Structure formats: structure tokens, C-alpha cells
């Protein structure tokens, strides 16, 4: 990317929020880069995270290009054009006493750095450099492709959970890009071209497609000055924003069965779920806590503790920007079938939809969510992660700050309503792994 002449333009403050003693501000640079600052003078470290509004949903599946967002989670650690050698990013971070990581999901890719407060400028310099200046040599692309191939082998081809997850998503969605896996399909990973990689980088890795979140011990004025100095001249991209796809998944009932070397049936059962920013999400989170809240949750109690039908049972819901899935994961015990587990889940759902949750159980669920909320905001890294999740998933970081109060206001009637809306009125998609037959 070339540079522009906007570095001298002052950033614009576009939002502000207060939570207790903490103040949060959001800024926008002339090139479109958004910055959320969460200073905390009591913090011991500094989290510097970059959230790109690009995930697996932004890939071109019909063209055979899935897994690119995840591939870049690896490529971003290879080499910027000005580095002396590959791996300079990690080496400089480690030399400064910092640590770095990354994660990819359907709606975002996030790059996470935790550094001593004195090393803010290093984090800014390294992140701004790789935002626009990756080398992306054919050798680097091929090396990281092989790493991702091995990762897919271990997490999908050789993993019952990975296989079931792909079966569920592909059946639950008919048109929505959430239907293909974040890691990508194996044949797409193997054949992705350097041209496709370069195009994906130029299209999505740009200041106007990113949110930088700084959390921890730093001075706001100094941080903004440093960020403008390093990012201000980066040129924005001509973004290709995909059209919103409104699909109330699952769209139709579906059942798939595979053989696998499991001791007994293992299954994933997917139903509907609201997006992270949907008004129904707080009540649905309370419902989820009632169902899956540790050993005392209804699911674990019915299937594992009292029923002794399963060895493990859990639920999963993601921070999706659009309507997602609520997935039950159950490993049955020998001598018990997936059908028995499904019947127990349907009984739990029926009870949630037709009987008010007892006050003490409702209060326990809300207390657990509120505790998790504050624990998630207690450290610089956790705070940056929560801010990023809500900024991308709900459209505004400020949604996060109202969530604890929303949990407190959820009623038993609210739980019944969302149970009916998402779990009763939607069809179920079920994928079962049965024990492989002896050869």
C-alpha cells in the first residue's frame, strides 16, 4: 500500500463511556482506523490488540477460497518487508518482555500483544508495520500453508469434535457464510494461490477495516500521538463489505451419522441463538447459564450426575454478529445411545419453555454471569478482549457496559420467551458419531 497525506490530521473522538473509575474513549483517524483507549493507572501491564473486521465469512467459498482469514493468523507473524529476517516480530516482543497471540473467528481476526507499559511504542510500531507491509513471499505462504494443513489434520480430520462441528454448521446454514469452517476446507487450503493471498491482504488488512484497542497502564494523549505517528500515513483500502445475510438457522431439521473410534455415541445438537448484540442475548445467556452452569446446571445434572447416561455434556454459543447457533455437545456412556441424550435435552428445553425457572435457580445463573462479567474485565488483556468482542460482535464496545445490568433484569418470563423463540420454534440439526464397527 502507498501512503497518503493524512498523518497531520488530528484524530476525532467519536465515543466515550465510563465504568466505575475507568474511562473509555473511541477515536477515528483520517484514514478510518478506529482506536479504543481504556487506561487504568493501577494496571501492571498493557494490552495492545488489533481487531480486523475480517473473518471466515469474508471469504469466497464458491471460488474455492476458504481458510484465508485463518491462514493470515499465521502469516502475520512471518516477516514485514523491512525486517532483517523472518520471525522479527516475535523476537522483538520477547526481548521486550512481551507476549503475543492471535485468534480467528467467523466475524473477526484479532492480534493480541501484552507488553510492559514502557513498550507501547514497540507494539504500535510492529503492528502498524505488519498491517500494510508484510513480505508474503511464496516460501512463507507455502510454509504456513503446511502448518495449517497439519492443524486441520489434527483438529478436524483426526478429531471427532472437528468433524461433528463441520457437519452441524454445513447443515444448519444454507446461504450464510457461517456455514463453512473457520480453518477452511482442506482442498481449498492446499490450492490457495499467492495471488489470492495478496488480494485478501490488500482488501482486508487496512486501517479502515481495523480497531486498535489499548488497555492498561498508559497515558491517553501520549498513546494517541504515538498511534497517529505510526498509522496516520497508511492508506485506506477500498473495502468490499459483504451484504448482510438474514438467515434464521437452522433452516431445516437434519441428521447426519458417521462412524468414529469413540467408546459410545457422541453428538452435537444445534438450535438457534441470537447474535451477541441482539436484545434477546442477555436473556439467552441466562438460559445458557441455567442449562450449562457447571455440575449444577440442568444439562450436566440430568445427563451426567443423576442420569449417568453421559460422561460429559456442555453447550456452546459464539459472539456472532448475526444470528448464530446454540450447540449441545454430549459424550454418551457405553450402553447408552445418542437418542437417549437427545430426549433428555428436549425435556430440558420443554421445561424451560413451559415452566418458570425457580427464583433461586434464576438468581444463581444471573450471579454467575455477573461474576464472569467482572472477572473478564479485571485484567488489561481480558478487558481488551471483551471490548473487541463487543465492538465487532454488537457494533459498539458500549454494549458491554450495559450487559451486567441487563442480566440482573432478566425475568423467568424472559427465559421462557427465548426458549420458545430459539429452541422450540427452530428445527434441530444433529450430528452423531457412533462407535466404529470392528473390521
Same domain? For 145 and 260 the reply is no
pLDDT at 430: 98
Same domain? For 206 and 292 the reply is no
Same domain? For 76 and 197 the reply is yes
Q: Which three cell numbers stand for residue 437?
A: 464397527
* 77-92 pLDDT tens trace: 998 887 667 888 999 9
| Average pLDDT over the chain, rounded to an integer | 94
Across the range 413-425, mean pLDDT stands at: 97
* 152-167 pLDDT tens trace: 999 999 999 999 999 9
Same domain? For 274 and 219 the reply is no
CB atoms < 10 A from the CB of 126, how many?
Answer: 26
pLDDT at 438: 72
Same domain? For 304 and 181 the reply is no
Cα-trace Rg, the chain: 23
Percent of the chain with pLDDT over 90: 89
Percent of the chain with pLDDT over 70: 97
pLDDT at 5: 40
The residue among 242 and 26 whose pLDDT is bigger is 26
Across the range 181-192, mean pLDDT stands at: 97
Report pTM.
0.94
Across the range 423-435, mean pLDDT stands at: 96
Residues in the chain: 439
Do residues 416 and 356 lie in contact, with contact meaning Cβ atoms separated by under 8 Å? yes
Domain assignment present for 40? yes
Range of the domain at 294: 254-435
pLDDT at 303: 98
Of 231, 263, 293, which residue sits at a domain end? Answer: 231
Per-residue pLDDT for 400 more than 70? yes
Domain assignment present for 227? yes
Same domain? For 139 and 18 the reply is yes
Same domain? For 63 and 151 the reply is yes
Q: Band of the pLDDT at 308, cuts 50, 70, 90? A: very high
Strands 254-260 and 310-317: unpaired
Tally of domains within the chain? 2
pLDDT at 85: 77
Per-residue pLDDT for 3 more than 60? no
pLDDT at 242: 67
The rounded distance, in Å, linking the Cα atoms of 210 and 128 is 11
The rounded distance, in Å, linking the Cα atoms of 154 and 149 is 9
The rounded distance, in Å, linking the Cα atoms of 404 and 282 is 9
Q: Which three cell numbers stand for residue 347?
A: 425435556
Domain assignment present for 297? yes
Per-residue pLDDT for 6 more than 70? no
Across the range 411-435, mean pLDDT stands at: 97
pLDDT at 239: 85
CB atoms < 10 A from the CB of 333, how many?
Answer: 18
φ, ψ for residue 75, nearest 5 deg: -60, -30
pLDDT at 83: 64
pLDDT at 1: 34
- Find where cell 477515536 sits: 27
Q: What is the CATH number of the domain that holds 325?
A: 3.30.830.10
Domain assignment present for 242? no
Amino acid at each position: 500500500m502507498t501512503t497518503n497525506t493524512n498523518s497531520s490530521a488530528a484524530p476525532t473522538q467519536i465515543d466515550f463511556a465510563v465504568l466505575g473509575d475507568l474511562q473509555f474513549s473511541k477515536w477515528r483517524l483520517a484514514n478510518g482506523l478506529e482506536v479504543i483507549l481504556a487506561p487504568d493507572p493501577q494496571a501492571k501491564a498493557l494490552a495492545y490488540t488489533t481487531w480486523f473486521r475480517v473473518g471466515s465469512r469474508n471469504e469466497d467459498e464458491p471460488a474455492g477460497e476458504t481458510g484465508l482469514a485463518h491462514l493470515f493468523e499465521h502469516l502475520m507473524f512471518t516477516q514485514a518487508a523491512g525486517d532483517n529476517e523472518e520471525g522479527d516480530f516475535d523476537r522483538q516482543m520477547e526481548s521486550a518482555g512481551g507476549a503475543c497471540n492471535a485468534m480467528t473467528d467467523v466475524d473477526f481476526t484479532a492480534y493480541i500483544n501484552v507488553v510492559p507499559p514502557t513498550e507501547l511504542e514497540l507494539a504500535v510500531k510492529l503492528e502498524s508495520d505488519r498491517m500494510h507491509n508484510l513480505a508474503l513471499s511464496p516460501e512463507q505462504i507455502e510454509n504456513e500453508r503446511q502448518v495449517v494443513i497439519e492443524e486441520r489434520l489434527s483438529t478436524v480430520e483426526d478429531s471427532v469434535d472437528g468433524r461433528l462441528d463441520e457437519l452441524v454448521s454445513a447443515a444448519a446454514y444454507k446461504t450464510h457464510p457461517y456455514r463453512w469452517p473457520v480453518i477452511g476446507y482442506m482442498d481449498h487450503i492446499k490450492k490457495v494461490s499467492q495471488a489470492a493471498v495478496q488480494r485478501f491482504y490488500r482488501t482486508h488488512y487496512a486501517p479502515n477495516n481495523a480497531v486498535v484497542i489499548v488497555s492498561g497502564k498508559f497515558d491517553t494523549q501520549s498513546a494517541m500521538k504515538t498511534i497517529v505517528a505510526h498509522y496516520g500515513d497508511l492508506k485506506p483500502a477500498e473495502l468490499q463489505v459483504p451484504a448482510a445475510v438474514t438467515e434464521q438457522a437452522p433452516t431445516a431439521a437434519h441428521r447426519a451419522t458417521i462412524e468414529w473410534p469413540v467408546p459410545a455415541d457422541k453428538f452435537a445438537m444445534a438450535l438457534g441463538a441470537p447474535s451477541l448484540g441482539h436484545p434477546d442475548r442477555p436473556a439467552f445467556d441466562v438460559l445458557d447459564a441455567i442449562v450449562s452452569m457447571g455440575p449444577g446446571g440442568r444439562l450436566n445434572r440430568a445427563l451426567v450426575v443423576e442420569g449417568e447416561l453421559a460422561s460429559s455434556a456442555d453447550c456452546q454459543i459464539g459472539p456472532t454478529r448475526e444470528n448464530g447457533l446454540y450447540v449441545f455437545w454430549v459424550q454418551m456412556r457405553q450402553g447408552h445411545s445418542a437418542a437417549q441424550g437427545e430426549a433428555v435435552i428436549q425435556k430440558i428445553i420443554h421445561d424451560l419453555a413451559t415452566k418458570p425457572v425457580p427464583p433461586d435457580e434464576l438468581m444463581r445463573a444471573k450471579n454467575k454471569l455477573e461474576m464472569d462479567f467482572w472477572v473478564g474485565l479485571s485484567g488489561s488483556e481480558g478487558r481488551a478482549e471483551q471490548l473487541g468482542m463487543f465492538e465487532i460482535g454488537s457494533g459498539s464496545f458500549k454494549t458491554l457496559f450495559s450487559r451486567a445490568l441487563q442480566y440482573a433484569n432478566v425475568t423467568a418470563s424472559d427465559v421462557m420467551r427465548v426458549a420458545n423463540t430459539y429452541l422450540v420454534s427452530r428445527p434441530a440439526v444433529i450430528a452423531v458419531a457412533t462407535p466404529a464397527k470392528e473390521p
